[in-house]
Amino acid sequence: MSTVLAVLRKDLRLELRTFETLPAMALFSLSTFVIFHFGFNQAAIAGQLAAGVLTVTLLFAALLGAGRLFVAEREQGGFDAFLLAPVDRNALLVAKAVAMFIFLAVLEVIAVPAFGLLLLGPPLGPRLPGLIAVLALADLGLAVIGTFVSAIAIQTRARDLIAPIIGLPLLIPALIATARAAGPLLAAHGSGSPPTKWIAILALYDVVFALIAYAVFDYLLED
């Protein structure tokens, strides 16, 4: 745990000093919402269409941020130093995934109100806690898969291409479950709680892929 906290502290301090990842993710999300706002040529959207727009925007913003997770380790020899240190290799995976989760949570504090202002028709109101729960589960899956894919892509020359090529197919189940769970929450007369079926699918996805990533990350780091 001390190793995880040390790496996480380093990543957060680096982001606070450079502001390379979060501003890019936020600018991408806001620009996408503006494009959708004028592209739809509608006063507002709701329901499944709104859920799809929000989910896809956050997905691509997450891939944008994941591409920067291991850049410092690659360029400054951090991988070699971590391999030589007498610590659990999976601590790097956990720390990077937690950092990515924090980045996504901060992004959504900015993006969700902007989405509501530019695109969403019905006000969230009492349905906001349900949407937060859905987005938290989605963020967990995006953080784990984004970290795992970024660790693979950073070892290649075409890392900017490899990350989305590998990550998008893996994230399709999470994308579908997130959109279906958020759809009723964003409907004009929707329920105040997300569908249990899609919440369960999303949670199961997070658990399965978190275990897979934890099991193979050690070997991936050495190779």
Structure confidence by residue, pLDDT tens digits, 86-138: 667 778 888 889 999 999 999 999 999 999 888 887 777 778 888 999 999 99
Which of the four pLDDT bands, split at 50, 70 and 90, describes residue 81?
low
Answer for the pair 174, 202: CB distance below 8 angstroms, yes or no.
Answer: yes
Looking at residue 178, its pLDDT comes to 93
Distance CA 115, CA 32 (A): 10
User: Strand locations in 97-137, DSSP E?
Assistant: none
Mean local confidence (pLDDT), 177-197 = 84
Lookup result for tokens 């109100």: 113
Which of the four pLDDT bands, split at 50, 70 and 90, describes residue 179?
very high
The CA angle 205-211-217, to the nearest 5 degrees, is: 125
pLDDT digits (tens, 9 = 90+) for 139-159: 999 999 988 888 887 777 777
pTM for the whole thing? 0.89
Q: Is the four-CA dihedral 88, 72, 12, 153 of positive or negative sign?
A: negative
> Could you say which DSSP state residue 185 is in?
G
Mean of the per-residue pLDDT values of the chain: 84
Residue 124, SS3 per DSSP: coil
